[in-house]
C-alpha cells in the first residue's frame, strides 16, 4: 500500500513509520505544521508541532530513507480545534482538544488530502489496535499497553476512517520497548520526552490562555444555597469536578473540601459543593458514532469519560436522533455484572462535564462514542424512575 506516515517529531510516530516501512508499504512522511507561529519553541516536554519537532521529524525520515514533506494545516487547526476549545469553555463545557484534533485534522483533513493524492492509508503513532476480520470488517480495540492506550481519543474517527488508518504501535508491550526499538534503529528521538497537556498551550497555563483569548469576565462563586463564597475572573476557567484553585473566601460549614458542581457562563457564576454532589448515574451524549450495529436498548458495556479514566459498567440506550444515554454503576440496574456484562466494577462516575467524550467499550473493543451533553445524579435518576 501507499502509506502517508504522520511524523510529529516524537518517538512514537517515528517507530510507527519504521514499522510501516518494514511491512513493505510505500511510505512517505509528512509533518503537520499546526502552530500559527512557526518559530514557536518547544517548552520542555510540553506541546508539540514546534519548529524543533519539524526538524526531528525530518531527521527521522532521513534515517528511514523515506520522502518527507511539511504540510501547513495551521488554519484548519485554529478554526476547528482552537476555536472549538475556546467556544466550548466560553459555553461552560469542557472539551478534549485531542479528540477534536483527531476528528477534524488528523483523520479528516490529513486523511482526505492523502486519499486525494493517491495514498491508501494514513499511519500514526497512536497506541491502539485494529482487528480485521475475514470479511474485511475492522474493529478498533484498546492497545496492548493499557497505560498508553489511546483508543479513547481515537473513537471519534468512525469506521470509515478507521478503514484507512494504520496504528503499528497497537501491539507494543510498553513505551520503554518503543524507545529501545527507536534507539536500535538509530533514531535520535529515542530519548525525547513525551509531549503532554494541550499542544497549543505550550507553557501549560490553560487558564492564562483562556483569559488572554476570552478576556476578563468577573463573577461570583456560590454554594448550593446561593450564598456567595468567592469570586472569579472568568467562569470559563473552571470545570466540573475541579477542587484546586477555587480561592474561596468562606470555608464550608463542615470544613470539608468543595468542588465545582456547575459552571453557568450566562450568569457568570460558578457553583461549588461537596464531593458527593459530583456523583453521576446517567449520562446523555449526542453526535453518536458507532462501530457496527447500534446496540439494542439495555446492552451491557463499559464507559469511559476521560482519556485515562477507569471503565465503568453501564447499560446503553441509543435514539434515532444520534443521542445515546447510559446508566452507569448501580444506576444501570437489571443485571450489570451478570450474563452479557462487558466488564467494569459497578461504580458510578464522578465529576462528568458537558463537552467530554463518552466512549463505550465491549471488553477491549470500541462500540461507539458521543459528546456529553447532560448528566443526572443518582438521586435525580431515582426520582425520575419513581415518577415514570
The answer to whether 31 and 60 have CB atoms below 8 angstroms apart is no
Dihedral angle, C-alpha 210, 212, 217, 223, nearest 10 °: 40
**Dihedrals phi, psi of 367, to nearest 5 degrees:** -90, -45
Given 49, 98, 199, 301, the catalytic residue: 199
Within 8 A by CB and 6+ apart from 61, the residues are: 7, 17, 29, 67, 68
Using alpha carbons, list the distances in angstroms from residue 98 to 58, 88, 247, 336, 356: 23, 14, 29, 31, 11
In which element (H, E) is residue 124 found?
none
DSSP notation for 68-102: EEEEE-HHHHIIIIIHHHHHHHHTT----HHHHHI
Quick one: which of 252, 263, 285, 236 has its CA closest to 351?
263
The answer to whether 48 and 106 have CB atoms below 8 angstroms apart is no
Q: Is 101 a catalytic residue?
A: yes
Given 49, 101, 123, 301, the catalytic residue: 101
Q: Is 199 a catalytic residue?
A: yes
CB-based contacts of 305-308 (< 8 A; 24+ apart in sequence) = 305/349, 305/352, 305/356, 305/357, 305/358, 305/359, 305/372, 306/152, 306/356, 307/96, 307/98, 307/150, 307/152, 307/153, 308/149, 308/152
Active site residues: 101, 199
Amino acid at each position: 500500500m501507499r502509506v502517508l506516515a504522520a511524523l510529529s517529531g516524537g518517538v512514537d510516530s517515528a517507530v510507527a513509520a519504521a514499522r510501516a516501512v518494514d511491512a513493505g508499504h510505500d511510505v512517505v512522511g509528512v509533518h503537520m505544521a499546526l502552530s500559527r507561529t512557526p518559530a514557536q519553541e518547544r517548552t520542555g516536554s510540553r506541546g508539540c508541532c514546534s519548529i524543533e519537532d519539524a526538524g526531528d521529524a525530518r531527521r527521522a525520515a532521513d534515517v528511514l530513507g523515506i520522502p518527507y514533506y511539511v504540510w501547513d494545516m495551521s488554519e484548519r487547526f485554529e478554526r476547528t480545534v482552537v476555536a472549538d476549545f475556546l467556544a466550548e469553555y466560553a459555553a461552560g463545557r469542557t472539551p478534549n482538544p485531542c479528540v477534536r484534533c483527531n476528528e477534524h485534522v488528523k483523520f479528516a483533513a490529513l486523511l482526505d488530502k492523502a486519499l486525494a493524492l493517491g495514498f491508501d492509508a494514513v499511519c500514526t503513532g497512536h497506541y491502539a489496535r485494529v482487528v480485521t476480520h475475514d470479511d474485511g470488517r475492522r474493529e478498533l480495540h484498546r492497545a496492548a499497553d493499557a497505560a498508553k492506550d489511546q483508543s479513547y481519543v481515537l473513537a471519534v474517527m468512525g469506521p470509515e476512517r478507521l478503514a484507512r488508518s494504520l496504528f503499528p504501535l497497537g501491539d507494543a508491550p510498553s513505551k520503554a520497548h518503543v524507545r529501545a526499538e527507536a534507539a536500535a534503529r538509530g533514531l535520535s528521538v529515542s530519548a525525547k520526552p513525551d509531549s503532554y497537556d494541550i499542544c497549543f498551550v505550550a507553557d501549560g497555563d490553560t487558564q492564562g490562555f483562556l483569559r488572554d483569548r476570552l478576556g476578563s469576565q468577573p463573577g461570583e462563586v456560590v454554594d448550593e444555597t446561593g450564598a456567595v463564597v468567592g469570586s472569579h475572573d472568568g467562569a470559563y476557567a473552571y470545570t466540573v469536578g475541579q477542587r484546586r484553585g477555587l480561592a474561596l473566601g468562606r470555608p464550608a460549614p463542615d470544613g470539608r473540601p468543595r468542588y465545582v458542581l456547575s459552571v453557568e457562563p450566562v450568569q457568570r457564576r460558578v457553583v461549588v459543593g461537596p464531593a458527593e454532589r459530583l456523583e453521576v448515574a446517567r449520562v446523555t451524549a449526542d453526535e453518536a458514532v458507532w462501530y457496527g450495529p447500534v446496540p439494542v436498548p439495555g446492552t451491557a458495556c463499559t464507559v469511559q469519560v476521560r482519556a485515562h479514566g477507569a471503565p465503568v459498567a453501564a447499560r446503553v440506550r441509543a435514539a434515532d436522533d444520534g443521542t445515546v444515554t447510559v446508566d452507569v454503576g448501580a444506576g444501570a440496574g437489571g443485571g450489570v455484572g451478570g450474563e452479557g456484562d462487558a466488564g467494569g466494577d459497578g461504580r458510578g462516575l464522578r465529576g462528568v462535564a458537558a463537552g467530554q467524550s463518552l466512549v463505550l467499550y465491549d471488553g477491549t473493543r470500541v462500540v461507539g462514542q458521543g459528546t456529553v451533553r447532560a448528566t443526572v445524579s443518582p438521586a435525580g435518576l431515582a426520582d425520575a424512575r419513581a415518577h415514570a
